[in-house]
Amino acid sequence: MKIYGTTTSPFVRRVMVVATELKEPIELVNTATDAGTKELEKVSPIRLVPVAVVDGETLFDSRSIHTWLLANRGTWGTWDSRENNLVNAIDAALHSILDLFYLRRDGVVIEGNAYEKRQLDRADAIFEWLGTQVSKGSFTGGFGLPELSLICALDWMEFRKAYPIENAAGVESVRTRWRDRPSLVSTRPHT
Ligand SMILES: N[C@@H](CCC(=O)N[C@@H](CS)C(=O)NCC(=O)O)C(=O)O
């Protein structure tokens, strides 16, 4: 599978981990380079990563790639409404913090403004809720998409220093539990 993406993106990492778990060989087209960006623009009008090209198909979005991998390469995890809720919440926190990261990176001053506060408050509320889900046992102890999505989000936020990770203390046990899993170790964010 050819994956267009970077070695830092939490969404790219998700599909790299699932592909690794399912023993699907990966060829990464690094979109952090100018050449890679041009390649991405040729395959996706959305211009977000990850994009996968496999068996003659082009797949936009980590969830489509995940769905394709499960349909074509074997079973990994399950996908019910409980998991969907957890992943939707994690995605919302991640998108809020990614937005702030991109604005800062592009030189937009957001410190202390209402938009920044709204995104940070959302992320705080989500991590607090996720903490209650850990306490209730909604993260069931297996390594599935909620656990993977959470770990990719936390590792990226820490790597980019984009969010005060101590605000997510209630979910830290999930990250600690899976820290040494080979598919996570080999895909840790790096430049
Ligand atoms: N819903 C998409 C989100 C992908 C996404 O936001 N990717 C970010 C990197 S983590 C990106 O490509 N950002 C580039 C941009 O915003 O121009 C997915 O699950 O694949």
Q: How far is the CA of 48 from the centre of ligand 1 (A)?
A: 4
Q: 18 with 54, same domain? A: yes
Q: How far is the CA of 49 from the centre of ligand 1 (A)?
A: 5
Q: Which two tokens stand for residue 172?
A: 């830290």
* Residue 5 and residue 50 in contact, taking contact as beta carbons nearer than 8 Å: yes
Decide if pLDDT at 140 tops 80: no
Nearest protein Cα to ligand 1, atom 11: 48
Among the candidates 41, 73, 105, a domain finishes at: 73
Q: 116 with 42, same domain? A: no
Among candidate residues 13, 27, 6, the one with its CA nearest the CA of residue 145: 13
Site to probe by mutation for ligand 1, drawn from 6, 13, 28, 49 as the one with most ligand atoms within 8 Å of Cβ, is 49
Q: Count how many residues are written for the chain.
A: 191
pLDDT for position 54? 97
Query: Average pLDDT for residues 134-142, to the nearest whole number?
Result: 88
Domain residues for the domain of 145 are: 81-183
Containing 33, the helix (H) or strand (E) segment is: none
Q: 13 with 68, same domain? A: yes
How far is residue 26's CA from residue 113's CA, in Å, rounded to a whole number?
41
pLDDT for position 27? 98
Q: Which of 40-49, 77-86, 130-139 has the lowest mean pLDDT?
A: 77-86
Containing 3, the helix (H) or strand (E) segment is: strand 2-5
To the nearest whole percent, how much of the chain has pLDDT over 70? 100
CATH number, residue 45 = 3.40.30.10
Nearest protein Cα to ligand 1, atom 19: 62
Decide if pLDDT at 172 tops 90: yes
pLDDT for position 79? 81
Among the candidates 39, 73, 107, a domain finishes at: 73
- Classified as helix, coil or strand, 27 is strand
Q: How far is the CA of 10 from the centre of ligand 1 (A)?
A: 9
pLDDT for position 72? 96
27 CB-contact burial (10 Å; exposed 0-12 / middle 13-18 / buried 19+): exposed
Decide if pLDDT at 80 tops 80: yes
Decide if pLDDT at 121 tops 80: yes
Query: Average pLDDT for residues 170-183, to the nearest whole number?
Result: 96
pLDDT for position 155? 98
Q: 46 with 97, same domain? A: no
Contact residues of ligand 1, CB 6 A cut-off = 9-11, 47-50, 61-63, 98, 102
How far is residue 190's CA from residue 147's CA, in Å, rounded to a whole number?
20
Q: 90 with 176, same domain? A: yes
Nearest protein Cα to ligand 1, atom 15: 48
CATH number, residue 120 = 1.20.1050.10
Count of domains forming the chain: 2
Q: Kindly indicate the confidence band of residue 68, based on its pLDDT and cuts at 50, 70 and 90.
A: very high
Residues β-bridged to residue 60 = 51
Q: Which of 34-38, 63-67, 124-128, 139-143 has the lowest mean pLDDT?
A: 139-143
